[in-house]
Amino acid sequence: MDKLETYRGIIKKIVEYHAKYAPSMGQIQAAPFIDMEHDNYGLIDVGWNIAGRVHSIIFHLRIEKGKIWVEWDGIESSVTQELVDAGIPKEDIVLGFQRPKRRNITGCAVA
């Protein structure tokens, strides 16, 4: 299996794992998205709670030019760490939510 297919499989497992859990407060569903054609992956919470409408990005990952871009990481335990724990080297992970000038201090790829 090539690197791209391996990365897609790892990300798919992470998305599916987190999609099993929805917030306990309100009527909220975890809505996963797994777009292997465009290499966009993530999880959104949608529904209603006592404060009103909920539409929150929990995490968003993309694959571009052989690297995984973490566009948003709202998981308490860190989806970025889950990627590393699954065997993806830090040099293949870009923290897209970090300013480009600060990425060099993250230990991950800068782009």
Q: Where are the domains of the chain?
A: 3-105
Task: Please name the CATH architecture into which domain 3-105 falls.
Answer: 2-Layer Sandwich (3.30)
* pLDDT tens digits along 57-83: 999 999 999 999 999 999 999 999 999
Give percent above pLDDT 70 in the chain.
99
Report the SS3 class of residue 94: strand
Give the confidence band of 1 by pLDDT, cuts at 50, 70, 90: low
Higher-confidence residue of 35 and 22: namely: 35
Closest CA to 64 of 86, 85, 93, 91: 93
Instruction: Say how far apart CA 106 and CA 95 lie, in whole Å.
Output: 8
Q: Provide the pairing of β-strand 40-49 with 52-64.
A: antiparallel
How does DSSP classify residue 109? B
